[in-house]
A and B are shown apart, each in its own frame.
Chain A
Amino acid sequence: MQLNSAERNNSKAKLAQKIKKEIQEEYHRQASFLRERSDFCQELEYFLEIFSLPVSPQKVKKRFSRPFVGIYCIQAPLELFDALGFHPIRLCSGSLAIQRLSSPFLPALTCPLIKSCVGAFYLDESIEKLCDILVVPTTCDWNTKLPEMIQDKAIPFYIMELPHIKESERGQSRWLEEIYELKRFLEQCAGRRLNRSQLQISVNKYMKAWQAFGRLIEFRRRGLICGTWSIVLANAFMIDDVESWTDKVNIVLKNYDKPEGNSNPGVFLAGSPVFFPYLKISELIEEAGMDILADELCTSERLIASVIYDEPSEYGLLKALSERYHLSCSCPTYIDNDRRLKNILNTMRTYNIKGIVYHLLKGCHPYDLESFYFEKVIKENGFRFLKIETDYSREDRQNILARLEAFRATLC
């Protein structure tokens, strides 16, 4: 039976409506999970509210009152957007329900994060309406192909070609060139030129955020704040306004005290990103009786780095920015990334963490490829290693939990 266009649109809208409801449920369920935790306190409510963005974007847009720049991955320089009057948000998505909108036309083994990201474009209050510009650095293959997947959407895309070799002059200067190009592009969009002192103010703002984040990480390392909450707080940074985020984090750190001090073994969480509402892995780790004392997820601890500039000239500032978003970043898509593993090992040694949980999203190839070498080296260094490959679905919770519990037993 052939449907006419009106009917088709009608059924499409109905489907979208249904999925939207599912998404809302998913978000609310996750949020209420978090609220019911024993270590929830009222200050944390602020961060849970932030995540209502995909559910009610218009509300969020009103809240931030600046034109939005949607970005994927952490290589786009946030300070630059801020200095030119844009509000940068990261469009990463951890929603399972939203995948239903995109899975019909994506490969079955697509990275779930990308599936959700693409799906978000097909919600009725879509990213199209929300963001004025989209910035996509070409990190992994999925991200590189992302603009192609949604080319039917009328939204200006800015693609930053990421040089995958960091520690060479060519790579660094090419990335600087990309930053300059982005600056020009943003200047055009904003209709004004970049002001040096404005950029300095922005850099300072983000440095304050870095400072607060550093304190958060320190709290976490000492086991004063649990891994899930720090991931949630870091996730919120990707959407929230930087200044209010900094304030709120400082407030949380001031008032927060964990209900009871337990002596769970600490683990290091590495691998693919974890983003609200997909907090399965961190919750399961905690359920299995371990503390995530440290992680190196690009949605958590790797999110904020310091921007230190010595030259207040525009060139100096942009160079500092370019290096902060290129050299400081340890995305597995880089070729010369040997420091990442060393740093992980160092952190584990420093904080007496005995094991590493390597979280892997199915289809996340860079991390998957790395995991084997990681496993070898980490075991050679006398640490425990557990690789968990999963996706956004909840059905393998028992399987993962069983493994995590056994893993905990090996840590004691």
Chain B
Amino acid sequence: MKIRILIILILFIYFILIQGIDIYAFSSKEEYLWIEFGKCMREKDGSLTLPLELNYGRFPGAKQGLKGLDEVSVFYSLSETDHNGKPVFYTARIQQDKQNYSVNINSSKQNRFIVFAQAKKKQNKVTIRYLAKTSFFLFGHSFSKKKTTRIILSREINRQLEIRIIPEFQCWPQTGNSVKIIPVFKKGYLAEKAISLFDQNMPQVEIMTNEKGECVYVPREDKRLNQKGETAFKQAVIVAEEDQGGIKHISSYTLLLHRSRFKNYKFFMGIAIFLGTMAAVFLFVIAGRKRIKF
């Protein structure tokens, strides 16, 4: 008896340990810079503040902080454009709290945001340029008209290697819905290029772009995410790199994913339950009526 309990205990501890080990840390890829979503906060005045964390290393577990990175800067654009029709970018202030670097994006009304973070690293005479990107909606509802002073970006963002997502803005990005990933390098497409995908709850995936330079990714159903509420989300970081002799570009895109809304809907099961109950209630009513005298 004791042995059995012991075995169960050992197995239990083993499973706990297994769960605890971060298996994605064994990726062979290089480190990259990525933006990680924090918990969106509601401000008293009705605006929303989204804290974005800047991380370096490997998503999700291996964070190394921004040590050794130079020229770290973050820019964001709202749904505004300048007279040329180009989006206007602003510089965001990076806040440092010990090892954590973060940027707070505040929105007092409905806005679409594109956020870039870039950094540079010199390693064995090779310059690595990092670019992290993400895009999202924020539905602020502030009555106040106060304008936060924004510093318009003076220099160009280094967007030589950029990952584009189609659709770029989704109302409710969710698992099970396909997204198209297009890595763009110096405004050209990269055909047959391997892209890595680091999902919060999933093993790392490698995808190849087709000859047009696109690839389609369907985030898989995630049991862990499903357990959480409808508004819960997870993140996935898409990474692409391009070596260009001396300068290496590593870009990432952080994809926000909710649980799938309708993929888990079992229609026939539901209809069966509905019709079955209906029949039962119907018979019940009819039987009840038969019993009445008139």
Q: Do A and B interact with each other, yes or no?
A: yes
Q: Is A373 on the interface with B (CB-CB < 8 A)?
A: no
Which residues from A are CB-within-8-Å of B294?
176-177, 180, 315, 318
Return chain B residues, CB-CB under 8 Å to A315. 294
CA distance A318 to B293 in the complex (A): 14
Distance, CA A180 to CA B293, complexed state (A): 9
- Distance between A180 CB and nearest chain B CB, rounded to angstroms: 4
The distance in angstroms between the C-alpha atoms of A176 and B292, with both chains bound, is 12
What are the residues of chain B within 8 A of A180 when measuring CB–CB? 293-294
CB within 8 Å of B: which of A129-176? Answer: 176
CB distance from B30 to the nearest CB of A (A): 79
- What is the interface size of chain A, counting residues whose CB is below 8 A from a CB of the partner? 5
**How many angstroms from the CA of A60 to the CA of B294 in the assembled complex?**
37
B104 to chain A, nearest CB (A): 64
Residues of B within 8 A of A177 (CB): 293-294
Residues of A within 8 A of B293 (CB): 177, 180
Beta-carbon contacts under 8 Å, B187-201 to A:
none
Q: Who on chain A is nearest to B294 by CB?
A: A180
Query: Could you tell me the distance between the alpha carbons of A288 and B294 in the complex, rounded to whole angstroms?
Result: 53
Query: Could you mark each residue 266-294 of chain B with 1 if its beta carbon is under 8 Å from any beta carbon of chain A, else 0?
Result: 00000000000000000000000000011
Q: How far apart are B285's CB and chain A's nearest CB, in angstroms?
A: 14
Residues of the B chain whose Cβ atoms lie less than 8 Å from the Cβ of A176:
294
> Once the chains are docked, how many angstroms separate the CA of A152 from the CA of B294?
34
Interface 0/1 of B93-131, CB less than 8 Å to A:
000000000000000000000000000000000000000
**Closest partner residue, chain B, to A179 (CB atom):** B294
Q: How far is the CB of A311 from chain B (nearest CB, A)?
A: 14
- Interface positions, chain A 296-320, Cβ under 8 Å from B, are 315, 318
Q: Which of A173-214 contact B (CB under 8 A)?
A: 176-177, 180
Alpha-carbon distance A78/B293, docked complex (angstroms): 23
- Give the CA-CA distance A177 to B293 in the complex, in Å: 8
User: How far is it, in angstroms, between the C-alpha of A339 and the C-alpha of B294 when the chains are bound?
Assistant: 30
Contact with A along B2-26 (1 / 0, CB 8 A): 0000000000000000000000000
Q: How far is the CB of B292 from chain A (nearest CB, A)?
A: 9
Assembled-state Cα–Cα distance A297/B294 (Å) = 33
Residues of chain B lying within 8 A (CB to CB) of residue A318: 294
Name B289's closest neighbour in chain A (CB-CB).
A315
Q: Return B286 CB to nearest CB of chain A, in Å.
A: 14
| Closest-CB distance, A317 to chain B (whole angstroms) | 12
A180 to B294, CA, bound (A): 7
Rounded to whole angstroms, the CA-CA distance of A13 and B264 in the bound complex is 95
Taking the closest CB of chain B, its distance from the CB of A81, in whole angstroms, is 19
Alpha-carbon distance A48/B293, docked complex (angstroms): 44
Q: Nearest chain B CB to A26's CB is how many angstroms away?
A: 45
Return B169 CB to nearest CB of chain A, in Å.
54
Nearest Cβ on chain B to A364's Cβ, whole angstroms:
34
Nearest chain B residue, comparing its CB with the CB of A184: B294
Tell me the smallest distance from the CB of A389 to a CB of chain B, in Å: 42
- For window 153-169 of B, CB contacts with A under 8 Å fall at none
Closest chain B residue to A314, Cβ basis? B294
Query: Distance in Å from the Cβ of A119 to the closest Cβ of chain B?
Result: 37
CA distance A315 to B294 in the complex (A): 8
Q: How far is the CB of A90 from chain B (nearest CB, A)?
A: 26
In the complex, what residue of chain A is closest to B293 when comparing beta carbons?
Answer: A177
CA distance A315 to B293 in the complex (A): 11
Minimum distance in angstroms from A320 CB to a CB of chain B: 14
Residue of B nearest to A322 (CB): B294
Closest approach, in angstroms, between the C-beta of B288 and any C-beta of chain A? 14
Instruction: Looking at the assembled complex, report how far the CB atom of B7 sits from the nearest CB atom of chain A, in whole angstroms.
Output: 69
Q: Give the complex CA separation of A240 and B261 in angstroms.
A: 73
**Cα distance A221–B294 in the bound complex, in angstroms:** 41
**Chain A proximity of B291: nearest CB distance (Å):** 14
A322 vs chain B, min Cβ distance (A): 10
- With both chains docked as a complex, state the minimum distance between the C-beta of A184 and any C-beta of chain B, in angstroms: 10
Q: How far is the CA of A177 from the CA of B294 in the complex (A)?
A: 7
CB distance from A400 to the nearest CB of B (A): 48
Please report the C-alpha to C-alpha distance between residue A34 and residue B118 in the assembled complex, in whole angstroms: 114
In the bound assembly, the distance between CA atoms of A223 and B192 in angstroms comes to 104
CB distance from B46 to the nearest CB of A (A): 51
Complex: A198 Cα to B293 Cα, angstroms: 23
Nearest CB in chain B to that of A315: its residue: B294
Query: Measured between alpha carbons, how far is A242 from B191 in the docked complex, in Å?
Result: 95
CB distance from B289 to the nearest CB of A (A): 10
CA distance A346 to B294 in the complex (A): 38
CA gap between A245 and B212 in the complex, in Å: 93
A177-B292 Cα distance, complex, nearest whole Å? 11
Q: How far is the CA of A30 from the CA of B293 in the complex (A)?
A: 49
Per the bound structure, the CA–CA distance linking A104 and B28 in Å amounts to: 124
A15 to B239, CA, bound (A): 124
Residue on B with the closest CB to A183?
B294
Q: In the assembled complex, how far is the CB of residue B68 from the closest CB belonging to chain A, in whole angstroms?
A: 84
In whole Å, how far is B290's beta carbon from the nearest beta carbon of chain A?
13
Min C-beta distance of A177 to chain B, whole Å: 6
Cα separation A315 to B289 with both chains bound (whole Å)? 12
Chain B residue nearest in CB terms to A176: B294
CA distance A51 to B216 in the complex (A): 97
State the B residues within 8 Å of A (CB).
293-294
- Interface residue ranges, A against B (CB under 8 Å): 176-177, 180, 315, 318
Q: Please, could you name 7 A-B residue pairs with CB atoms under 8 Å apart, sorted by A?
A: A176-B294, A177-B293, A177-B294, A180-B293, A180-B294, A315-B294, A318-B294
7 interchain residue pairs of minimum CB distance? A180-B294, A177-B294, A177-B293, A176-B294, A315-B294, A180-B293, A318-B294
